[in-house]
Structure 1
Amino acid sequence: MTGELYTIPFSHYCELARWSLQEAKVSFVEYPYLPGVHTFFGPMERIRKRRSGGESTGKGQGTPLYLTSDGQILDDSWQILSLTGLTGLPVSEDMKALLNYQIGPQVRSIVYADLLRPEKGCPVSWWQRGLWSLGGFRRKVSSVMKQQMVGDEERQAKTLKDFEEAIEKVEAELSKPDGCFQGAPNELTASALALAALFAPAVCPAEYTGGFVPEIKPETFSEAHQERIRQWRQRPIGQFTLELYRRHRMRCVSRS
């Protein structure tokens, strides 16, 4: 039996879910939606309400959503990560909060600040591409995304500052021989997978999404952001992420 994974295809939270399912050797079909399109046309809220007896779950059209082959719902990346059964220390609650509420949203905000424009090469249906090609719809969605996730220049500067502080905290844990990332990148652990997936957009691994979305190359971005990518790639967290992707990402794709 095959499950259903509903995503925004290039989302790093959805990448965490996708990679986890592939690593768990779970059969699934992915249904990708572009931002904005997913709000109006995605079935995620309908699925959630159907499984909760018609009650709103508060998560609306949020992705990822994994509907198992027997009808159960796994409602976020961390629930799906638990399917992998990977060995190694689990993600500590402090590190999970740091990754989920700081690193993840900050990466998204920084990348969107530089790259709010029509997506190209995403594996979405023709009608989604048609909607996104409509200038009015695209501008409206981009405006809402920028307002909600990016903000003005002052907010962007603060996000970059907070992001650097969050990186330092993660790198402090990476440096501990008995920290939650021990064994990686030689070994793939749940903690390492979570960190690599959520930090990946900052360093653009060639293997990001396991080939589901065409490679997002640094040259796609402005010169200023390309310089940030170069700097982040040289840091311990960047080297760790790139090496984990290089060693482990495509292995589970070819196996699935």
Structure 2
Amino acid sequence: MDRSQALPKGIDRQTLIRLTRDSTYELILTFVLLFGVTTIVRWVIGPSLVSHAIPDIHAELWIVGTAVALLLAGLILSPPGRISGAHTNPAISFAMWRFGVFPGRAVIPYSVAQLLGSVLGVIAARGVWGSIVSNPPVAFAVLQPATGWSAIQVFVTESAGMAVIVFLVGICLSVHRLAKFVPWIIGALVGTGIAVLGTASGGSLNPARQFGPAIASGQTHFLWVYLLAPMVGAAFAAWLRLWIQKRRQVLTHRLCGTIG
């Protein structure tokens, strides 16, 4: 039988090769992101010179947010990031589809790759930094909401945070002169979200950000919220941007501003 006949309907061989390549890049990029996040948490919030010198959790979260912002921008601007878009976030992949610049058939492969990369990233961090990563206060960089917060409160906060990010990214990607600044805008927004929401909802804003740490640590009580809330926020923001900017198209799913 012709191999092409075994491919999913509507997908040719070259498209499948590109999708496999790009999904693999997303796995690698998300792996690096979660390895980096876990490493940052280990050295800023875990036992270290930084945590001893700066014991205030709010100040520590601003340091973590700044470091993650730079890491995200670097991943988006990296060669693999320029090819796949460096979404590293299922909610971003979903939003790019709703913006009309990313194929719907790629959302699930990207999301699976991002979640797998998340798990592998935190496991690798445990291997590099040792048992300190698996013990509190690091605990694989898993996020927990503030004491007394309900699942509904976390859901609403995380949804709103993701909605703000997706809406602003969509606006910037629809204006040619702003598109090149999107890596830094995304980094700044996510970094600010970490600093502001870290002691409240946790400041995940990314299903992949929480998935690996939750699986590795076994702390999965709120995992469904952290997985679903950003997707809901992204869906709402994509609809809102389309409603406001009916005649202005998003330029690209490649968040570095590369047109294509």
TM-score bracket relative to the smaller structure: 0.3 to 0.5
Normalising by structure 1, what TM-score?
0.33
The structure with the largest helix share of the pair is 2
Larger RCO, structures 1/2 (Cα 8 Å, 6+ apart): 2
